[in-house]
Amino acid sequence: MPETPTRPRLTDVAAAAGVSKSAASKVLNDAPGTSVSEETRARIHEAARRLGYRPHGPARSLATGRTGAIALVLPPLSNPTHATIARGATRRALELGFMTLTAEDAGDEASRAGLEMVIDSGRIDGVIVGSASTDSDLPFLLTRKQLPYVLVNRSSPHGRANVVMDVAQSAREAVDFLVGLGHRRLGHIGGPTEYTPSVERIQAFRSRCRELRLPEPTITLQPFDEGGGARGLTDLRSALEPPTALFTSSFAQAVGVLGTAAQAGLRVPQDLSVLANDDYPMADYLVPTLSTVATPLAELGAAAVDALLAVFNGEETGDTVIPTAPQIIARGSTSAPGD
């Protein structure tokens, strides 16, 4: 029988790097107050990489005072926006040696009780919060518990670090794209105004329409889900002069719009062009295929992990705006009016 490979030990790394076991442990576990030269630090990491050594979890916790786990608190993951942010955060956390615990915040008492249990468990080092509304007390709770946290896809003057995208730019790009197709009567299905991205998107959409001297856009506020899109379409179509093109605040809303339009005998894009915020592979398989404004959601999740680790390390933190520009992906759901 072939021999079972022997797992490399810390003493092997120390010997390969020419340092003491204690020095190797402090460097590999990122222990606070470790004082070694950059050359020695690089030599230790190279020896660990070459030997395939990974720090032992409990030992690392003892050395750093950390659990090696962070919590992601997000709205329901049935919304692909939140699932994509979670995926980006999880991948980045693993790269940095952290595990993630994802908690869905549905805004009810049960999810809040579960969240507080996680916070009080002592099993996490910090929290990435993507569910807090403008009136949420969650940032105050985390501050009171002295648990490091950052906000992602949200912003609050009370947050130590807000990690966001340029939501306003996405809305402006949407207006410019639809106007470029020849549309002048535009509509927007916005999200709930207790969430800052919704407010910023609505304001930017309306402002850009005014800058281009378009008729005042028709705007309705709805939940981010498919039902919100269905009700939003009904609202927009009941306007005195219904829009010929609309931009939804979420991908799920656009799915609801397409389904409701088909049931009502409304042709997309001949009677109505539909453009969705955020892009997912599903867009290529809808009927018609769905035009989207692609945004850097996975980057957003990864940047939130980096910001949280900066808080851990006592670094100066502030707001982070992802620099990646939104990108219009034109598909079958948009065309010139009447095409």
**What residues pair up with 151 in beta bridges, in sequence order?**
129, 162
**Segments in 264-321 forming alpha helices (H):** 297-312
pLDDT per position as a tens digit, 188-235? 999 998 888 899 999 999 999 999 999 999 999 999 999 999 999 999
Report d(CA 52, CA 119) in Å as an integer.
34
Query: Residue 34 half-sphere exposure, CB side, CA atoms within 13 Å?
Result: 19
CA neighbor of 269 nearest in space, from 225, 206, 334, 199: 334
Report d(CA 51, CA 160) in Å as an integer.
39
pLDDT per position as a tens digit, 160-198? 688 999 999 999 999 999 999 999 999 999 999 888 889
**What residues pair up with 297 in beta bridges, in sequence order?**
none
**Segments in 152-195 forming alpha helices (H):** 167-180
Under a CB-based contact definition with an 8 Å cutoff, are residues 300 and 85 in contact?
Answer: yes
Report d(CA 141, CA 125) in Å as an integer.
15
pLDDT per position as a tens digit, 36-89? 788 888 888 888 888 877 665 545 544 455 678 899 988 888 888 889 999 999
So what's the pLDDT on residue 65?
53
3-class secondary structure, 262 = helix
Q: Which domains does the chain have, with CATH numbers?
A: 69-165+298-321 (3.40.50.2300), 167-297 (3.40.50.2300)
Band the pLDDT of 273: cuts 50, 70, 90: very high
**What residues pair up with 187 in beta bridges, in sequence order?**
218, 246
Report d(CA 205, CA 199) in Å as an integer.
10
Structure-model confidence comparison of residues 143 and 153, the more confident one: 153
Average pLDDT of 293-303?
A: 94
Average pLDDT, the chain: 86
Under a CB-based contact definition with an 8 Å cutoff, are residues 230 and 257 in contact?
Answer: yes
Average pLDDT of 110-134?
A: 79
